[in-house]
């Protein structure tokens, strides 16, 4: 008996845990955040801090080991802006974890430091999965606070509150809170022909094909966003939509919402302004891209990317 991907349980109980940037296991202790949380955390023994220069994570580098965590006293030469410190949460040991922007430019960092953005940390596996998850939280908060130094209503300076999770205008008292931008990313599946739909954008690495994706618009459900983006980019109409997994994507503060979409048409009419190619792939072709990237001139996104997860779990689906 054949089982539809859209009717049954997924192969993994929680596939989101298998994506990059999802390994954060800090206790955020959000219900206890207050105006003194950062001050108290900085005063604690054993506190460690991520440092960000020009939105890049600064890693200590001794020629062999890369370490993204600083004790407070180690940060002085990087000129930390302590007034903009954010509290991420607490390790199981109770150790506080924070993040701070630093004043030094990345071009002026000494040789014992290495700056890296999120994509580099992920693709080159410079830090482990847990630290990468903590980085995602830190990078998004540091960027959001840095982008909102002035009030969007009156233009006055905004002040940081409750550990970096609220900013308040000093003049008109307008309040804002951290943003997360929802993005749908979907693997459209033609179950009758056992094919999946993949495309490639001009900025992709040579030969790489991935799932289609796009931002959720205001007043739009996830399901309708999947249907709209798939139709706009590929011309394929879709029916049932199934949520599968999510992935924090801190470039700068998105949440990738991974779904499967049921194809209701087959003729591709790609948007040439968005995609340079879009085609149907067999299960065998998809598996080869996952297992032997580049072997036949085509490759999948790297392991850890939610597109890779969607492709892998479809290939391994027991019908």
64 band by pLDDT with thresholds 50, 70 and 90: confident
Token match 């030094």: residue?
Answer: 104
293 band by pLDDT with thresholds 50, 70 and 90: confident
Point out the least confidently predicted range of 7-16, 32-41, 93-102, 235-244.
Answer: 7-16
Q: Is the pLDDT of residue 11 over 60?
A: no
DSSP for 254-289 reads EEEEEEEEEES-------TTT-SEEEEEEHHHHHHH
Q: Is the pLDDT of residue 53 over 90?
A: yes
pTM equals 0.93
Distance between CA atoms of residues 198 and 210, nearest Å: 5
Mean pLDDT (the chain) is: 95
Angle at which helices 283-291 and 306-315 pack, to 10 degrees?
130
Are 275 and 199 a contacting pair, CB within 8 Å?
yes
Rg (CA), the chain: 22
Instruction: Read off the pLDDT of residues 206-261 as tens digits, 9 standing for 90 and up.
Output: 999 999 999 999 999 999 999 999 999 999 999 999 999 999 999 999 999 999 99
Q: Is the pLDDT of residue 9 over 70?
A: no
Residue 4: the pLDDT is: 75
Residue 118: the pLDDT is: 97
Residue 213: the pLDDT is: 98
CB count, 10 Å around CB of 273? 8
Q: Is the pLDDT of residue 285 over 70?
A: yes
Judge residue 284's burial from the number of C-beta atoms within 10 Å of its C-beta, 0-12 exposed, 13-18 middle, 19 or more buried.
exposed
Distance between CA atoms of residues 72 and 83, nearest Å: 14
Residue 10: the pLDDT is: 53
Q: Is the pLDDT of residue 5 over 90?
A: no
Instruction: Read off the pLDDT of residues 84-109 as tens digits, 9 standing for 90 and up.
Output: 999 999 999 999 999 999 999 999 99
CA torsion, ordered 307, 52, 125, 314, to nearest 10 deg:
-10
Residue 294: the pLDDT is: 81
Domains contained in the chain, CATH given: 15-20+180-315 (3.90.79.10), 33-147 (3.90.79)
135 phi/psi in degrees, rounded to 5:
-60, -40
Distance between CA atoms of residues 69 and 57, nearest Å: 10
Q: Is the pLDDT of residue 40 over 70?
A: yes
Residue 295: the pLDDT is: 81
Point out the least confidently predicted range of 76-85, 149-158, 248-257, 291-300.
Answer: 291-300
282 band by pLDDT with thresholds 50, 70 and 90: very high
Q: How far is CA 42 from the centre of its chain?
A: 27
Biggest CA–CA distance in the chain, Å, is 67
Q: Is the pLDDT of residue 12 over 70?
A: no
Q: Is the pLDDT of residue 156 over 90?
A: yes
Residue 6: the pLDDT is: 74
């Amino acid at each position: 008996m054949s089982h539809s991907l859209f009717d049954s349980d997924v192969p993994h109980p929680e596939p989101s845990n298998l994506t990059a940037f999802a390994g954060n296991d800090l206790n955020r202790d959000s219900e206890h955040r207050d105006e003194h949380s950062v001050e108290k955390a900085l005063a604690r023994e054993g506190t460690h801090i991520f440092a960000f220069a020009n939105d890049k994570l600064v890693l200590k580098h001794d020629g062999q080991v890369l370490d993204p965590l600083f004790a407070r006293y180690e940060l002085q030469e990087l000129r930390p802006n302590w007034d903009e410190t954010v509290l991420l949460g607490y390790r199981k040991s109770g150790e506080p974890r924070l993040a701070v922007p630093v004043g030094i430019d990345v071009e002026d960092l000494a040789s014992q430091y290495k700056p890296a953005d999120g994509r580099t940390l992920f693709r080159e596996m410079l830090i482990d999965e847990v630290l990468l998850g903590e980085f995602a939280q830190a990078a998004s908060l540091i960027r959001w606070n840095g982008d909102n130094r002035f009030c969007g209503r009156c233009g006055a300076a905004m002040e940081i509150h409750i550990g970096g999770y609220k900013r308040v205008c000093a003049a008109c008292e307008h309040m804002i809170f951290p943003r997360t931008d929802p993005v749908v990313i979907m693997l459209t599946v033609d179950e009758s022909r056992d094919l999946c739909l993949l495309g490639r954008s001009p900025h992709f690495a040579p030969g790489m094909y991935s799932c289609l994706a796009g931002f959720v618009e205001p007043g739009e459900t996830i399901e309708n966003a999947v249907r709209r983006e798939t139709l706009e980019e590929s011309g394929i109409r879709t029916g049932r939509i199934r949520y599968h997994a999510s992935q924090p994507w801190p470039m700068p503060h998105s949440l990738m919402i991974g779904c499967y979409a049921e194809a209701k048409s087959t003729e591709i009419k790609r948007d040439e302004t968005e995609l340079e190619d879009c085609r149907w792939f067999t299960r065998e072709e998809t598996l080869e891209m996952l297992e032997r990237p580049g072997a036949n001139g085509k490759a999948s996104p790297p392991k850890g990317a939610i597109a890779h997860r969607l492709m892998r779990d479809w290939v391994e689906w027991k019908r």
